[in-house]
């Protein structure tokens, strides 16, 4: 009986210590430490344990990753967590900037597998996979491009009121309604 009471007491002490240990968690997003309540809410919402560490989060697209690394996943966009996304959040080394973050080569290569060559410049990306040049209309949907690629379709084309955008894995093109066009890659 005495050992049973000792075991129950040990379990109760351990259970009481868990919230204190969780409060000591250090999760930094875009340079700002999240309060323990925010970490707990994210862990509950996503049913996971967030390891201590430094992360970046793109509120426009929902993409996130470890600081200094390429994206690791996507969560809800628009969350009010952390500070402002920095251009060097993922140690990007390309001239392709999406939502203010410079892409690392690994992300650029993955993007090019979906849409063909990507010309250097500044782009926007939303949570639904719509993307375009900064300040411009959507030109491509990455989710649709990925779905087509999974079906073995090498080429893609997207017609919008603002022009036509497409590619075949080696050449990408944009044709504007006024007749101007741009081709990038091995065309």
pLDDT at site 113: 85
Residues 103 and 53 in one domain: no
Q: What is the mean pLDDT of residues 88-103?
A: 97
**Domain range enclosing 82:** 10-91
Q: What is the mean pLDDT of residues 151-166?
A: 56
Residues 52 and 78 in one domain: yes
Could you tell me the maximum CA-CA distance found in the chain, to the nearest angstrom? 88
- Does residue 184 sit in helix, strand or coil? strand
Q: What is the mean pLDDT of residues 102-117?
A: 91
In a domain, 2, yes or no: no
Residue 136 has pLDDT above 80, yes or no: yes
Would you tell me how many other CB atoms lie within 10 Å of the CB of residue 75? 16
- Does residue 29 sit in helix, strand or coil? strand
In a domain, 28, yes or no: yes
pLDDT at site 116: 84
Residues 44 and 125 in one domain: no
Q: What is the mean pLDDT of residues 158-169?
A: 61
Residues 61 and 102 in one domain: no
Q: Are strands 73-74 and 96-98 parallel, antiparallel or unpaired?
A: unpaired
Burial (CB < 10 A; 0-12, 13-18, 19+), residue 51, is exposed
Kindly report the pTM of this predicted structure: 0.70
Residue 121 has pLDDT above 80, yes or no: yes
Residue at a domain's end among 75, 91, 107: 91
Residue 2 has pLDDT above 50, yes or no: no
Q: What is the mean pLDDT of residues 41-60?
A: 95
pLDDT at site 95: 97
Name 175's bridge partners: 164, 181
Q: What percent of the chain has pLDDT over 70?
A: 67
Residue 153 has pLDDT above 50, yes or no: no
């Amino acid at each position: 009986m005495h050992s049973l009471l000792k075991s129950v007491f040990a379990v109760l002490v351990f259970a009481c210590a868990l919230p204190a240990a969780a409060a000591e968690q250090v999760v930094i997003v875009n340079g700002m430490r999240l309060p323990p309540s925010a970490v707990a809410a994210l862990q509950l919402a996503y049913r996971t344990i967030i390891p201590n560490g430094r992360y970046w989060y793109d509120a426009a697209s929902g993409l996130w990753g470890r600081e200094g690394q390429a994206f690791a996943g996507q969560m809800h966009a628009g969350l009010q967590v952390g500070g402002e996304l920095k251009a060097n959040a993922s140690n990007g080394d390309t001239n392709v900037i999406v939502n203010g973050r410079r892409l690392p080569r690994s992300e650029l290569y993955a993007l090019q597998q979906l849409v063909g060559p990507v010309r250097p410049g500044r782009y926007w990306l939303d949570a639904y996979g719509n993307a375009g040049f900064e300040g411009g209309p959507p030109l491509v949907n990455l989710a649709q491009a990925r779905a087509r690629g999974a079906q073995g379709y090498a080429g893609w084309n997207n017609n919008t009121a603002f022009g036509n955008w497409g590619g075949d894995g080696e050449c990408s093109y944009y044709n504007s309604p006024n007749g101007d066009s741009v081709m990038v890659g091995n065309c």
